[in-house]
Amino acid sequence: MTDQVSASGIDLTELDPETRPQDDLFRHVNGMWIARSEIPADKARWGSFSLLAEESEKAVRDIIIEAQSAAPGTLERKFGDLYTSFLDEDRIEALGATPLAANLATVDAVTTISELLSNLGRLERAGVSGAFHLFVDNDPGNPEQYRVFIEQGGLGLPDESYYREDKFADIRAAYVPFVAKMFRLAGLDNTEERARGVFDLETELASHHWNKVETRDSEKTYNLRTWGQVSALAAGADIDLWLEGIDAPAGTLDEVIVREPSYIVGLAATMTEDRIESWRDWLRWQIIRSSASYLSGDFVETSFDFYGRTLSGTPQLRERWKRGVSLVEGALGEAVGRIYVDRHFQPSAKESMDVLVDYLVQAYRESISTLGWMTEETRGRALEKLEKFTPKIGYR
């Protein structure tokens, strides 16, 4: 057979002849690619989308480098300067742990849970991880409106299972020495005792976390609450002080979606005055780990050794320029994206993709309309859902 492309357009030479599709369809389709491909040392996974991301990253770097010489005060110069500052390793090494000093001094002055909550909100606004994770998304009950979502947080390990399941015992054993070492780098004393206290507190917080199955339940995690109701959940801990500290725009948190209400109840129960020292060390840890990737090489390498090598199995730290690009994209991605679109995604390409998607939608419509196994009620709901589909190609 000379033509190895089937009528469907699939390249048959990419199919693994050593694996029957009925035994392992994934290996049959992808086995040849897997056999000849290597995961780069700075990646924990690899695939075709990763290749595209690599090429995109290089194109973004070119844009950022050009922006370093843009006119002062322009948006381009802002992200160019951000990148420049991140690549200034000599200055970063000279500073060492100094950038942590002001925030750590703030924690030293905390003497009550109320002061802790107030400072926790302020520090979260500055990028320090806190007891909650906040994000904005469409309200599932009213998709035309955006809401702030509040979900469980406060952990240094990926989720609550890492604090209790036997299979993660080695990670737990490595976590405490890691926290202690980071404390030492930051200039703290009694680091082993502090690290153990942080782990014990996080373990208690983890006991109030919902597990991964529960957090995927779209109905259980949809809890629209007024801020007054959220505050009532935290009876015993005045989280209105946290709200003041985070200083959100007026009205932003008047109504929020609380994904795991019982976590707030459990969190408040742990915030007692007799545990203020543990909470202060926990807050110090949030400051250090949230800043580690921007500090001197000893912080960066120690953090990567645990979070990169131990947790995700990534052998090698990404090159500094790649980490710099990620920083810019995270902080000023919209500004870079505007230039990227102008340069690499012409209107004609978007128009072509819009046409392709229109054909796909029409094919779905025809298929749904003729499927014999669908009831008329199901067919109607499926077509209704299809009509609400809004394609978004590249940018809108």
pLDDT value at residue 6:
56
Average pLDDT over residues 367-384: 93
pLDDT in tens, 156-209: 999 999 999 999 999 999 999 999 999 999 999 999 999 999 999 999 999 999
**Range scoring the smallest mean pLDDT among 21-25, 79-83, 172-176, 345-349:** 345-349
Q: Which of 5-9, 46-50, 169-173 has the lowest mean pLDDT?
A: 5-9
Q: Residue 97 pLDDT > 70, yes or no?
A: yes
Note the pLDDT tens digit of each residue in 139-160: 999 988 999 999 999 999 999 9
Single pTM value for the model: 0.85
pLDDT band at 55 (very low <50, low <70, confident <90, very high): confident
pLDDT for 110 equals 96
User: What is the predicted pLDDT for the residue at 4?
Assistant: 56
Amino acid at residue number 193: E
Half-sphere exposure of 355 (CA within 13 A, CB side): 6
pLDDT over 80 at 323, yes or no:
yes
For residue 1, is pLDDT > 50?
no
Model pLDDT for residues 246-257, shown as the tens digit of each residue:
999 999 999 999
For the segment 366-389, the average pLDDT, to the nearest whole number, is 93
Shortest CA distance to 57 belongs to which of 396, 324, 339? 324
- Place 36 in a pLDDT band, splitting at 50, 70 and 90: confident
Q: Where are the domains of the chain?
A: 1-37, 97-295, 356-387
- Is the predicted pLDDT of residue 102 greater than 80, yes or no? yes
If you classify domain 97-295 with CATH, what class do you get? mainly alpha
**Mean pLDDT across the chain, nearest whole number?**
93
Of 170-184, 297-311, 344-358, which gets the smallest average pLDDT? 344-358
Taking residues 337-364, what's their average pLDDT?
90
**% of the chain beyond a pLDDT of 70:** 97
pLDDT in tens, 12-35: 888 888 899 899 999 998 888 888
Is a pLDDT exceeding 50 seen at residue 2?
no
pLDDT of residue 129 exceeding 50, the answer is: yes
Task: For residue 5, name the pLDDT band (cuts at 50, 70, 90).
Answer: low
The whole-number pLDDT of residue 30 equals 87
Q: What percent of the chain has pLDDT over 90?
A: 81
Q: Which of 223-232, 270-279, 383-392 has the lowest mean pLDDT?
A: 383-392
